[in-house]
């Protein structure tokens, strides 16, 4: 069942070690088949070099396991809340990549200091609030997803324009049209987190990229009149 989806999710998961985004098993990729209403995700705690496409777990949006021998990633409820709240997304990634996680631990939004950031993220990459003890006790992973959604709603952030965030004292979650694109955005978050850190090291007073420059860079790739790349 959904063999193509499982293969894609397996391959997207294998990109995480390839791009140096994970240590041990600290990361996961999922992708949704919107028509079937089913999500494919990495199994929990399985070494990347031992994982096969057959190990990928299929669930419905309520978290019921539909297929798979293994338990799904413990972060699955976070992925499911993002799919439910953001109907335009098709893939979700979570890692503990070093620089993005450092911004999460520092409790800071990652400001846009240059066009690398502006090409992919329109404005700051938000740092999502900590959960309360009650929220963690009640349903930690589900409430992590809801806390992300809460911030996007509260600040009127478009999830298609800001395809990722860092959760305070935890790490980054990114998303995209599919698993591959979500991984791509996870790489971008790590790179711009690193660049922002280095920028502040060189000049703690560095200002953000002027808004008109951010507008130009983001919109030429993602706006209604995008013209970057081939065939747009």
Residue pair 82/92 in contact (Cβ under 8 Å)? The answer is yes
The residue from 33, 119, 140, 215 that is catalytic is: 119
The DSSP secondary-structure symbol of 210 reads P
3-state SS class at 76: helix
**Residue 83 bears catalytic tag:** no
Residues 6 or more apart in contact with residue 184 via CB below 8 angstroms:
176
**How many CB atoms lie under 10 A from the CB of residue 187?**
20
129, 143 contact by CB (below 8 A): no
End-to-end CA distance of the chain: 34
Residues 6+ apart with CB under 8 A from 105: 168, 169
Q: Which of 128, 130, 129, 118 is nearest to 196 (CA)?
A: 118
Pick from 182, 189, 28: which is nearest to 91 by CA?
182
* DSSP state for residue 38 in the 8-state scheme: E
Q: Nearest Cα to 101, choosing from 186, 30, 19?
A: 186
Active site residue 119: yes
Q: Which sequence positions are flagged as catalytic?
A: 119, 228
């Amino acid at each position: 069942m959904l063999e193509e989806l499982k293969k894609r999710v397996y391959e997207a998961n294998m990109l995480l070690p390839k791009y140096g985004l994970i240590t041990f098993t600290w990361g996961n990729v999922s992708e949704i088949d919107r028509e079937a209403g089913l999500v494919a995700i990495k199994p929990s705690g399985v070494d990347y070099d031992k994982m096969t496409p057959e190990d990928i777990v299929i669930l419905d949006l309520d978290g019921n396991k539909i297929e798979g021998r293994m338990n799904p990633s413990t972060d699955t409820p976070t992925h499911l809340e993002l799919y439910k709240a953001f109907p335009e997304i098709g893939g979700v990634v979570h890692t503990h990549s070093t620089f993005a996680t450092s911004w999460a631990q520092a409790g800071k939004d990652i400001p846009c200091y240059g066009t690398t950031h502006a090409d992919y993220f329109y404005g700051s990459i938000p740092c999502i609030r900590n959960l309360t003890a009650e929220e963690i006790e009640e349903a930690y992973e589900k409430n992590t997803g809801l806390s992300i959604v809460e911030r996007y709603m509260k600040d009127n952030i478009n999830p298609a324009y800001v395809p990722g965030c860092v959760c305070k004292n935890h790490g980054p979650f990114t998303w995209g049209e599919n698993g591959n694109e979500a991984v791509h955005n996870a790489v971008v978050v790590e790179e711009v987190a690193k660049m922002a850190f280095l920028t502040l090291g060189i000049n703690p007073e560095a200002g953000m990229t002027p808004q008109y420059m951010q507008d130009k860079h983001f919109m030429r790739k993602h706006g209604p009149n995008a013209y970057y790349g081939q065939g747009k």
